[in-house]
Structure 1
Amino acid sequence: MALEDIFGIKDHVSVAQECARAGLIFFYGLLLMRLSGRRTFAKWSALDVAVSVIAGSNLSRALTGGAPLWGTLVATAALMGLHWTAARLASKSPGMARIIEGPPVPLGADGRLEKPVLRRFGLSEEDVGVALRQEGLDDATQARLFMLEPNGRISILKKS
């Protein structure tokens, strides 16, 4: 039995072949995620989101037969390799981290929020309120510094 019999060919995939592709792609995707490291889904920086969306889109096309199976698997592995390389560069060089992930952004200090900065990044005061409550704070006056981190999280440093 040839691989084409099991997995089909582009634009000619039976239900059974699509199920075989689903199993292959599931385990292949899991293997790539394990090889690329926990960072792919842990921090969710812009780099991580872009790679995850592209990899998912790529693998879905292979699943349904909209793209050649083997070439798509190789292309997805190459994408994960690029992600791994970019993540390592960012971890070793602060300058590369700023280019790849972006810098942290001050949102306010000493209990005062910079509303134009919030608007520029599409954040509401309620978004900051959620972060305050997660830190066990009742209101903004208890905070020394508000930062929008490269992964999109709002971090808050408490006043002493």
Structure 2
Amino acid sequence: MSWLAGDWTHLGAVAGKAALIYVTALAALRLGERRTLAQWTIVDTVAAVAVGAIVGRTAIASNQSFVTGAVALITLVAMHRLVSGLRARPLFRHLTDHRIRVLVADGKVRRHQLMICGLTESDLLAQLRQRGVFELSRVRFVLYEAKGGLTVVTEVHPAAELPDLVRVGLREAVDVPAGET
């Protein structure tokens, strides 16, 4: 009957290990590059990978009971829910989410920002071409968003008023060009 319940005395340790591995994975992915995360946040990626691992191991490992897997799974889902809610607070969001980066400003590629993001100029130019942008001189800004997407602003007249959402993005960005916030 151990396949069903396992050893009840270690379930607290299972929940603790699950919470610790979640936090460890969150920290490790936060330090990694966004490009591997597609359009998921780090928090979502950690939860998906951890849940997949627990489900797989619980299903096939002869030395892990169902209850152990269930406790670990429930703990990870609860951690994901908690961390997702805490992301609404700016201080916590800065710990879990990448900041917006300005990759192009006034038609000039900001190579240092590309390097920080783990992107090459070829990556950037390919994305611009796919969006129908064929001249850098027509690009006012390219913002690398927190979830890894690009926002391309093609207004080139210096006196043109920036749309509200672009200004908000620039305010939240790291290393904004002088005079742009």
- Report percent identity of matched pairs: 22
Task: Please give the alpha-carbon distance, in whole angstroms, between the structure 2 residues aligned to 1:139 and 1:148.
Answer: 18
How far residue 129 of structure 1 moved from its aligned partner, in angstroms, is 2.2
The partner residue of 1:56 within 52, 55, 73 is: 52
C-alpha distance in structure 2 between counterparts of 1:134 and 1:78, whole Å: 41
1:74 equivalent in alignment to 2:39: no
Residues paired across the two proteins, number: 126
| AA of the residue aligned to 2:67 | W
SS at match of 1:63: helix
Structure-1 separation of matches of 2:65 and 2:2: 13
Which structure would you say has the larger RCO, counting Cα contacts within 8 Å and 6 or more residues apart?
2
Shift, 1:84, TM fit: 1.4
Please point out which of 144, 148, 167 is paired with 1:152.
Answer: 148
Q: Are residues 1:137 and 2:151 paired?
A: no
1:114 to 98, 107, 110: 110
What TM-score, normalized by structure 1, do the two folds share?
0.66
Q: Specify whether residues 122 and 76 from structure 1 end up closer, same or farther in structure 2 by C-alpha distance, changes over 3 A only.
A: same
Paired letter, 2:149: R
Kept in 2: contact 1:128–1:154 (CA 8 A): no
For 2:51, the aligned partner's letter is A
1:86-101 map, 5 Å: 86-90=83-87, 92-101=88-97
TM-score by length of 2: 0.59
Q: 1:129, 1:139 within 8 Å by CA — same for their partners in 2?
A: no
Structure 1 position 3, deviation (Å): 9.3
1:85 matched residue in structure 2? 82
Question: What does residue 24 of structure 2 align with?
Answer: none
Does the Cα contact within 8 Å between 1:131 and 1:155 map onto a contact in 2?
A: no
- Give the counterpart letter for 1:85 in structure 2: L
For the aligned residue pairs, the C-alpha RMSD in angstroms reads 2.8
What residue ranges of structure 2 are gaps of 5+ in the alignment?
7-36, 157-181
Cα deviation digits, residues 56-101 of structure 1 (max 9, x gap): 11211111125322211221121111111211221x3223222211
Unaligned runs of 5+ in 1: 10-40
- Return closer, same or farther for 1:52/1:136 CA change in 2, 3 Å cut-off: same
Aligned mates of 2:101, 2:54 — CA distance in 1: 32
Please report how far the alpha carbon of residue 115 of structure 1 lies from its aligned counterpart in structure 2 after TM superposition.
1.0
Shift of 1:123: 0.3
